[in-house]
Amino acid sequence: MAAALQTLGGGIGITLHWIAFTPTIEQQATEEQKKKWLKLAQDVAIVGAYAQTEMGHGTFVRGLETTATYDPSTQEFVINSPTLTSTKWWPGGLGKTANHATVMAQLYTRGKCYGPHNFMVQIRSLENHQPCPGVTLGDIGPKMESNGNDNGFARFDHVRIPRENMLMKFARVEADGTYVQPPSSKLAYSNMVYLRGTFVMSAAQALASATTIAVRYSCVRRQSEMKPGEPEPQILEYQTQQYKLFPQLAAAYAFWFASWFMTQQHGSITGSMEKGDMSGLAELHALSAGLKSYTTAVTARGIDVCRMACGGHGYSHASGLPALFGGAAALCTAEGENTVMMLQTARYLVKCFAQSQAGKRLTGTVAYLSAVQPSPVAGNRNMSDLGTLVAAFQHRAARMVRHAAMQMQGEMQKGKAREDAWNSCSVLLIKAAEAHVHSFVVRNFAETVQTVEVDESVRAVLTSLCQLYSLYGITEHAGDFLKDGYLTGRDIDAASSHLSAMLARVRPDAVALVDAFDLHDKILRSVLGRYDGRVYEHLYEWAKKSPLNKSEVHESYYKYLQPFLKSNRAKL
Ligand SMILES: CCCCCCCCCCCCCCCCC/C=C/C(=O)SCCNC(=O)CCNC(=O)[C@H](O)C(C)(C)COP(=O)(O)OP(=O)(O)OC[C@H]1O[C@@H](n2cnc3c(N)ncnc32)[C@H](O)[C@@H]1OP(=O)(O)O
Ligand SMILES: Cc1cc2nc3c(=O)[nH]c(=O)nc-3n(C[C@H](O)[C@H](O)[C@H](O)COP(=O)(O)OP(=O)(O)OC[C@H]3O[C@@H](n4cnc5c(N)ncnc54)[C@H](O)[C@@H]3O)c2cc1C
């Protein structure tokens, strides 16, 4: 995805062609339809956008207003934007780049609505790139970041497309207008599940980029006096700098390993689904939604911690950190806004908890929910043992899921409708879902460092990083672990002191750990994070290239400052 994210230059962007449009054809088109469009997309003989979100709806897909009404007399679908709020709004590449789009629209046939389905619509001429008849296109204007991408808008005025342009791998409409049900109505959402899964790797890469920049710069930057009269130390020698950066570095590794698991799970579950076994879809949706939400949120915060750890130069675009933050911030909203996605995971957890209460043995990422004992067994735990740390996170998550679910049951017993009970417990539900995903990331990190085929010296470093990540999580959320006495105050103190020891242990390997991400300077695009460490010379060169330095006295002096100064001097 990193390569795909490199836009081809200002004003156009084919990121979404690669990460959303083409995968939608791969996942939702019939074999016949793939023969017609997939190679064209793969060879970039056509450029596409994934047009789902509208001005009035992004999260609530079932509320989308664009319509696709089947006309059996001509065997065509009529694509229409009935209201202003139905205008497609945000899709990457839609404004100026794409000449095709997969359009998510409410399917109507024989007077009945069958919900959102994907349709292939040509939106610009292949001859002169002008919008097709009935199609109005444009860019939505400047954004927080990624302004090289033309996120656009589109309106459709009764645009006719052949019946065969409905992506019909799952659901179908026959020539006479008969609708054929898909195995699951959620299969139309399958590309979103796929893309959320890829966001976990994007988050890992973004956090890896930010920690590479900040760790390298923290070895170049010398500042202040640790001891009077001694030379200024590298700022990475300050424990506070290590406390800022090393948990983010550990999280980058944790998320990188979590994305490996996500990719493997997606492949295996979608493989089973190809054979008609839909049993894994709910788990895949819950895991991808939760991991996407959790990793992108931690990454966006973590990048800003890295930026602040680099002082003033971190605030300069020369560092590359503001752009990284802007991109990572987008990942928190795009492909399913984080709160809504974490609530989807919470919905799955509540369902699994109820099944476990009814005696069902749970499997997969929720298996621990039925295995964890409700009664805490306090005692002096070995807070440097990975098994102990994993068990603590699983106990915390199980307790919080149980608490949220029981709260909801209590609200319903008081007579509240399920939906009202859900809403009044949704903050608890979000926290429980976050604890669940956090416990998955810790467990997966621990299992990966224990099994990955590496030299034992590397395993030792990765184990320290996993301990650091876990201990940081426990100390940052100490209340959750203390609440039922599962951990004691002494355990938390032990975790804090062990965390300090881990900071010191990781320090000698910090540069090697970021170099291991192998992010070329051309990808990092950061003067502070240069592999050769020659920050200051290149910072000066970078600044001299600023457009403001094209002339010694800027034209604004003559237009504004000079007359202003003159008039002020005249009053003296
Ligand atoms: C090396 C250097 C690299 C540096 C990296 C730099 C990083 C920075 C990158 C910068 C680039 C930034 C931009 C990147 C590109 C952005 C691309 C974005 C594209 C988009 O945004 S596309 C549009 C995305 N939109 C969404 O995701 C919409 C979200 N909403 C929904 O998915 C649904 O509306 C919903 C899930 C919230 C609700 O759906 P619905 O109402 O239908 O369902 P219910 O909540 O009622 O649940 C009913 C049951 O259905 C199940 N369900 C729901 N969804 C799914 C699913 N997808 N799969 C399976 N099952 C699903 C629920 O679980 C329910 O089941 P139950 O059994 O009844 O409980
Ligand atoms: C950089 C970028 C690129 C994008 N690219 C594309 C693209 O290529 N194609 C495309 O189709 N779309 C794209 N999008 C749009 C994106 O998918 C939507 O912005 C996203 O789905 C959120 O929907 P929304 O904007 O309507 O926000 P809303 O859903 O209106 O969210 C606003 C607030 O309401 C809250 N909220 C909403 N529903 C609930 C609920 N049920 N419970 C609790 N709180 C709720 C949310 O948590 C959020 O805080 C892109 C967006 C961005 C920022």
CA angle 109, 99, 75 (to 5 degrees): 25
Query: Of these residues, 335, 337, 447, 552, which one is catalytic?
Result: 335
Produce one character per residue of 293-310: b if its CB has 16 or more CB atoms within 10 Å, e if not.
Answer: bbbbbbbbbbbbbbbebb
* Atom of ligand 1 lying closest to residue 340 CA: 37
8 Å CB contact between 25 and 102: yes
Ligand 2 neighbour 52 (Cβ under 6 A):
yes
Q: Which ligand is nearest to the CA of 429?
A: 2
- pLDDT of 184: 83
Q: Is 347 in the pocket of ligand 1 (CB under 6 A)?
A: yes
Rounded to the nearest whole angstrom, what is the distance from the C-alpha of residue 383 to the centroid of ligand 2?
40
Q: Is 202 in the pocket of ligand 1 (CB under 6 A)?
A: yes
Question: Which of 207, 285, 342, 345 has the most ligand 1 atoms within 8 A of CB, as the residue to mutate?
Answer: 285
Cα distance between residue 218 and residue 236, in whole Å: 5
Our answer on whether the CB atom of 205 is closer than 6 Å to any ligand 1 atom is: yes
Place of tokens 């991400």: 517
pLDDT one digit per residue (tens) for the chain, 572 residues:
444 444 333 456 688 899 999 999 999 999 999 999 999 999 999 999 999 999 999 999 999 999 999 999 999 999 999 999 999 999 999 999 999 999 999 999 999 999 999 999 999 999 999 999 999 999 999 999 988 889 999 999 999 999 999 999 999 999 999 999 988 888 888 888 999 999 999 999 999 999 999 999 999 999 999 999 999 999 999 999 999 999 999 999 999 999 999 999 999 998 998 888 888 999 999 999 999 999 999 999 999 999 999 999 999 999 999 999 999 999 999 999 999 999 999 999 999 999 999 999 999 999 999 876 655 666 678 999 999 999 999 999 999 999 999 999 999 999 999 999 999 999 999 999 999 999 999 999 999 999 999 999 999 999 999 999 999 999 999 999 999 999 999 999 999 999 999 999 999 999 999 999 999 999 999 999 999 999 999 999 999 999 999 999 999 999 999 999 999 999 99
pLDDT given at position 1 = 43
332 lines ligand 1 (CB under 6 A): no
- The amino acid that residue 426 corresponds to is S
Strand-pair category, 159-162 with 152-156: unpaired
Rounded distance between C-alpha atoms, residue 222 and residue 232, angstroms? 5
Ligand 1 atom at minimal distance to the Cα of residue 190: 57
Q: 21, 106, 192: which to mutate for ligand 1, most atoms within 8 A of CB? A: 192
The radius of gyration of the chain from alpha carbons, rounded to an integer in Å, stands at 27
Ligand nearest to the CA of 336: 1
Residue 371: what pLDDT? Answer: 72
Are 446 and 421 a contacting pair, CB within 8 Å? no
Q: Is 53 in the pocket of ligand 1 (CB under 6 A)?
A: yes
Query: Is the CB–ligand 1 distance for residue 344 below 6 Å?
Result: yes
pLDDT at 6 (0 to 100): 40
pLDDT recorded at residue 356: 94
Token pair recorded at residue 170:
């799952």
Residue 567: the pLDDT is 96
How far is the centre of ligand 2, averaged over its atoms, from the C-alpha of 107 (Å)? 22
* Rounded Cα gap, residues 141 and 144, in angstroms: 10
Token pair listed for 386: 């990975």
CA neighbor of 2 nearest in space, from 471, 419, 517 = 517
For the record, the structure tokens of 405 come out as: 């679910």
Tell me the three state secondary structure of residue 535: helix
∠297-202-197 over CA atoms, to 5°?
A: 85
Name the 3-class secondary structure at 60.
coil
Helix (H) or strand (E) segment spanning residue 521 = helix 521-524
Q: Where are the beta strands (DSSP E) in 41-150?
A: 48-51, 67-71, 76-80, 88-89, 100-109, 112-122, 135-139
Q: Annotation-wise, does 92 bind a ligand?
A: yes
285 lines ligand 1 (CB under 6 A): yes
Interface predicted TM-score (ipTM): 0.98
Ligand 1 atom closest to the Cα of residue 333 is 21
Do the beta carbons of residue 564 and residue 558 sit within 8 Å? no
- 432 CA to middle of ligand 1, Å? 19
Interaxial angle between packed helices 281-309 and 426-451, expressed in degrees from 0 to 180 and rounded to the nearest 10: 80
**Ligand 2 centroid – CA 199 distance (Å):** 15
pLDDT given for residue 187 in this prediction: 83
Q: 388 CA to middle of ligand 2, Å?
A: 38
Do residues 433 and 349 make contact, with C-beta atoms less than 8 angstroms apart? Answer: yes
Which CB contacts under 8 angstroms, 24+ apart, belong to 375-384?
Answer: 376/484, 376/485, 376/486, 377/486, 378/485, 378/486, 378/487, 378/488, 379/488, 380/488, 380/490, 380/491, 380/494, 381/487, 381/491, 381/494, 383/471, 383/474, 383/491, 383/494, 383/495, 383/498, 384/467, 384/498
Token duo for residue 121: 């619509």
Residue 257: alpha-carbon gap to chain centroid: 15
Q: Is 12 in the pocket of ligand 1 (CB under 6 A)?
A: no
Nearest ligand to the C-alpha of residue 3?
1
Centre of ligand 1 to C-alpha 199, Å, is: 11
Ligand 2 test: best mutation among 54, 59, 64, 149, most atoms within 8 Å of CB?
A: 59
User: Please, what is the angle between helix 190-220 and helix 281-309, to 10°?
Assistant: 20
Ligand 2 centroid–CA 293 distance in Å is 12
Q: Tokens at residue 552, please? A: 């010694």
pLDDT at position 525, please? 97
**Cross-strand bridge partners of residue 136:** 155
Bridge partners, 121 (sequence order): 101
Asked if 151 and 94 count as a contact pair (C-beta separation under 8 A), the reply is yes
Residue 335 among the catalytic residues: yes
Ligand with smallest separation from the Cα of 89 = 2
Residue 314 annotated as binding site: no
Does the beta carbon of 284 sit less than 6 angstroms from any atom of ligand 1? no
